[in-house]
Structure 1
């Protein structure tokens, strides 16, 4: 989304799109507390272990297209 775009959710929380993140990530600031977060495709936390462990697989979805599939690894103890 363009920097400055504001999304308000059903729980009344809001985030605002910021500039500065390299595609396919989007940077947002929580308007209720100011915390910044980068989201992969605007939906998944860039800091999530499953996103970090599978970034190359997730990027293979780009451009988005119906029918593409992938298998993700999940990092865990043991």
Structure 2
């Protein structure tokens, strides 16, 4: 099954959900918004494959948000530390 058939939520949405759940708030109520800390579009593009490339990128990126160290990994995980 390809990624196009069963796409996982974009990394920026996974970050918002994880932080909002940890803070027990709705994602829209997070302040500052994620976009004030990291470019959500750039975050989403970090690990996605291109149409002419079947391989995906590996690695992780981390940044501070809402008092957490957020780690987004290429295996679709988001950790709060």
| TM-score, reference length from structure 1 | 0.23
Structure with greater Cα Rg: 1
Q: Which has the higher strand share?
A: 1
| TM-score, reference length from structure 2 | 0.23
Higher relative contact order at CA 8 Å, sep ≥6: structure 1 or structure 2?
2
